[in-house]
Structure 1
Amino acid sequence: MRNVSNKKYYVTAFALYFAYFILGIASSIMGQYKTEFAKAWGATTLSNGTLDVSVVVSVIAAYGLGRLIAYPFAGPVSDRVGRRISGFIGITLYAVFFFGMISAQSMWFAYAIGVVNGIANSFLDTCVSPSVMEIFPKSASIANLFTKFAITVAQFVLPFVLGLVASAQLSYKVIFVGCGILMVIDAILVLILPFPQQDKTKKATAGSAVKLQHHFTVASVASILLGFTSSATFMIWLNCNQELGTSYGIKDPSVLQSFYAVGATIAVLLTAQFIHMGLKETTILVLYPSISISMLLLCYFITSPFILYIGSFVIGYAAAGGVLQLATSTTIGFFPASKGLATSLVMIASSVANYAVLTAAAYLTKVTGTSAPRMIILMNVAITFIGVGLALVVKHYSQNAKVTIAEA
């Protein structure tokens, strides 16, 4: 990328980070209103007298299906048509999600809107990650890491917004309407603000084609698969900690969300500083999931409320504090001429995780009843353990590889 001042793109970067702020609300708000949505969709009542909220978990899982459908198209749109178009599509579809979800009268209509949510995320991802890395080329991985910061700030603020809405005796739909309006405004901004010039792939020669194909190494494939494991760790916790908190005797399990968000926010800031000080991204990809495994096991064996407060903070730090974003940055390092495509590959893996593990969690919730929350912890441990193995592969093979993430 040419060495020119990119200050004129800072407002664009702010608009893109703001879109991720609202994305942070979209990714967790469904889990906060499971009962309300289950009631609105006519869910059945279980033998213990509670509503079958597994239908809501299934709708949340549809988010992963939508991402899986769209990522093969979203990456090429970003690389070939432009970041602006990809971002505009994503933000506009997020507005459709917010307005559509509160209009749903059945589980199947809500499921379709959940798919739209995933499609929106795919187009936004393939716009924002490459764009901020092009706006801040000298700190590309840190710039991408701060997309997670925007998400975690939103997830920290959300419980307070929920409290304000409840104390004012307003419908939860107010939050959806507000977010939908904000997304419409942001879509307009993305349509008119300047974007940096993309690094276009030069006309391919036989040699260059071989070179691009050569990037599909053991390390690059493992880096892509980290999109699955890193997403699964925090997605399972984010969407299933409410029931775990209730089973451990926490009266207001929504508070766990605040601890989770604080941990993730601190992680982004500290991790950015660690990378600036010279800590390798591949080292973090090994260390953070290992911490997550230890914490998840403590939450399984210690069935007291206090461990979940600690656990939410630690999982927020180690699982949701930017591991997925660093996996994306690492993968982009293997595909410097196709940043949108590289982002798509990681996020396809992430999408499979979102759909598969939340569908599995819904199944466990349905068939194992009260023991489901702890069974879900064990599932999370197993998946995260695989993630550590993949990260070790990436670290081992990348030590001698000439992949410069910060300048990708």
Structure 2
Amino acid sequence: MGEKTLDTSVTNSKKRSYLPTAVAVYTTFLMCGIIMSISAQYKLQLAELWGEKGNIAAVLSVSSAVGVGGLIGTLAGPISDKFGRRFASIMACLCTVINFAGFMLAPNVTVAYICSLIGGIGNSFMNAGLTPSMQDAYPDKRSMLTVLTKFFVSFGQFILPFVIVAFNAQHISFKVAFWGITVVYAVIGIACFFLPFPEVGSQKKAAADKVSDSAKPKGKIKITFESVILGLMGFSTTAVFMVWTNTNQELGKLYGLSNPAMLQSVYAIASLISVLTTSAMVAKGIRESTILIVYPAVCAAGLLLSYFVQSGPLLYVLAAVMGWFASGGLMQLAVSLLAGLYPAHKATAISIVGLGNALSNWLVIRACGSITATAGTNAPRVILLMNMTIAIIGFVFGIFVRVSQNRRAKNNITDLES
């Protein structure tokens, strides 16, 4: 009894030692929510800064480079697993500093594009370094802590409009915001040199220490149908809310809303509440796969209803539904489940989901653009059907994951490393 108490005390002490790291991690994700939207808010100012006055298309082109950088940054996962979370986290901050300082100093769009691409690579390092560092530090709360990253990203997106209003009221240059982001990431990057980071796959190593040397895992991994589906969910879980956030304004106008911008506010508030609720549900023992089944199904039903019932007020309900059930941390749950299957290769697993995320950012926006160009005024409703189809695919993926989980449980298989 005395030894168990001592072990518990030591464990709790170790967990407490990661609190400063956790503060840095979630501050970074809060800032990530801000940087995801800030360029869109200052398109005209950035265009003028880069010598393309009035050319909003040039700024959109620069923003698209983030997705390209995310595809390149898929290698961040294996790098994080090989060289550690500290290295990956420092690289994430360095790339973001280059991105935003570069935006302010870029003499033209080409240089700004390169800086944005580096920022996309930084996003990959962020997911490969910061997210698994919390999973390694607190393995028993892996899903809850991963979903919390979504909360801080959503909160950053939520507060950004208020920051912009305050800046405008005080006649503060937009450059202050960009340089402020640069300084914050520089400070966090420097702090990462000194903050404690857990050992890669620490809980896997702890479990291996309890068995004989001959029985210890060899570090090999297995690729199964379940792990492939979880990787594909990086696409489906992102695409549903990406399509909504990029097309709801046009749908609102089509359905007669006088202020369709309110849809985004309803969506953001529902998303914030959902992430906290989903996190609490997981902490209480609700299976992640249950949420991955139910949430996409509700999204599909809401989108289908809004296709047939062309009502402006109903769109406010749909905005809340999409905020809650599409943006409630589904991708983070897929990340958590896949990382749990590969305890010693978490960052690599997370990068696979991130690859699906990057492809979604690129492909679905192109698809929406093509539909808009060919379907005319009815395009927003066609996009509703496309989004409903993606949600149904996500629902089917969730069922596959649940079946695979049950099969592994029967065979007493907890991970896919042996």
With normalisation by structure 1, the TM-score equals 0.86
- Residue 390 of structure 1 is matched in structure 2 by 397
Deviation at 1:252, TM superposition (A): 4.9
* Residue from 121, 136, 139 that aligns with 1:137: 139
Contact persistence 2:201–2:346 (CA under 8 A): no
Deviation at 1:254, TM superposition (A): 4.2
Does residue 1:13 correspond to 2:15, yes or no?
A: no
- Residue 349 of structure 1 is matched in structure 2 by 356
Q: Distance in 1 between matches of 2:60 and 2:307?
A: 21
- Residue 90 of structure 2 is matched in structure 1 by 88
Q: Distance in 2 between matches of 1:385 and 1:61?
A: 27
Contact persistence 2:200–2:344 (CA under 8 A): no
* Residue from 25, 50, 62 that aligns with 2:65: 62
Does residue 1:237 correspond to 2:244, yes or no?
A: yes
- Residue 264 of structure 1 is matched in structure 2 by 271
Contact persistence 1:69–1:119 (CA under 8 A): yes
Does residue 1:212 correspond to 2:220, yes or no?
A: yes
Select between 315-324 and 156-165 the one with higher mean Cα deviation.
Answer: 156-165
Q: Distance in 1 between matches of 2:214 and 2:354?
A: 29
- Residue 287 of structure 2 is matched in structure 1 by 280
Contact persistence 2:84–2:199 (CA under 8 A): no
Name the SS of the counterpart of 1:399 in structure 2.
Answer: helix
Q: Alpha carbons of 1:219 and 1:304: their partners in 2 closer, same or farther (altered >3 Å)?
A: same
Deviation at 1:10, TM superposition (A): 0.5
Select between 282-291 and 303-312 the one with higher mean Cα deviation.
Answer: 303-312
Contact persistence 1:54–1:362 (CA under 8 A): no
* Residue from 300, 304, 308 that aligns with 1:297: 304
Q: Distance in 1 between matches of 2:337 and 2:158?
A: 27
- Residue 148 of structure 1 is matched in structure 2 by 150
Select between 58-67 and 97-106 the one with higher mean Cα deviation.
Answer: 97-106
Q: Distance in 1 between matches of 2:50 and 2:383?
A: 25
Correspondence 1:6-405 to 2 at 5 A: 6-34=15-43, 56-71=59-74, 73-103=75-105, 107-199=109-201, 212-214=220-222, 216-250=223-257, 252-366=259-373, 370-402=377-409
Match for 1:272: what amino acid? S
Q: Distance in 1 between matches of 2:248 and 2:350?
A: 28
- Residue 3 of structure 2 is matched in structure 1 by none
- Residue 47 of structure 1 is matched in structure 2 by none
Q: Alpha carbons of 1:260 and 1:89: their partners in 2 closer, same or farther (altered >3 Å)?
A: same
Q: Deviations over 1:316-366 (max 9, x none)?
A: 211111100000011112211211111111111111111221233344445
Deviation at 1:150, TM superposition (A): 0.8
Name the SS of the counterpart of 2:344 in structure 1.
Answer: coil
Name the SS of the counterpart of 1:337 in structure 2.
Answer: helix
Deviation at 1:53, TM superposition (A): 5.4
Match for 1:228: what amino acid? F
Contact persistence 1:90–1:122 (CA under 8 A): yes
Match for 1:191: what amino acid? F
Deviation at 1:399, TM superposition (A): 1.2
Equivalences, count: 396
Computing the radius of gyration over CA atoms, which structure comes out larger, 1 or 2?
2
Match for 2:264: what amino acid? Q
Q: Distance in 1 between matches of 2:67 and 2:368?
A: 14
Q: Alpha carbons of 1:107 and 1:85: their partners in 2 closer, same or farther (altered >3 Å)?
A: same
Q: Distance in 2 between matches of 1:372 and 1:30?
A: 26
Match for 1:24: what amino acid? G
Contact persistence 1:364–1:376 (CA under 8 A): yes
Residue segments in structure 1 that go unaligned for 5+ positions in a row: 45-50
Q: Distance in 1 between matches of 2:367 and 2:52?
A: 19
Select between 183-192 and 387-396 the one with higher mean Cα deviation.
Answer: 183-192
Q: Distance in 2 between matches of 1:244 and 1:53?
A: 22
With normalisation by structure 2, the TM-score equals 0.84
Q: Distance in 2 between matches of 1:38 and 1:110?
A: 10
Deviation at 1:175, TM superposition (A): 2.6
Q: Which has the higher contact order (CA 8 A, sep 6+)?
A: 1
Q: Distance in 2 between matches of 1:353 and 1:205?
A: 43
Deviation at 1:368, TM superposition (A): 5.0
Q: Deviations over 1:64-98 (max 9, x none)?
A: 22111111x21122111110110111122122223
Q: Alpha carbons of 1:191 and 1:236: their partners in 2 closer, same or farther (altered >3 Å)?
A: farther
Name the SS of the counterpart of 1:212 in structure 2.
Answer: coil
Name the SS of the counterpart of 1:191 in structure 2.
Answer: coil
Q: Distance in 1 between matches of 2:248 and 2:41?
A: 10
Contact persistence 1:74–1:86 (CA under 8 A): yes
Select between 327-336 and 370-379 the one with higher mean Cα deviation.
Answer: 370-379
Match for 1:100: what amino acid? G
Match for 1:25: what amino acid? I
Name the SS of the counterpart of 2:220 in structure 1.
Answer: helix
Match for 2:18: what amino acid? Y
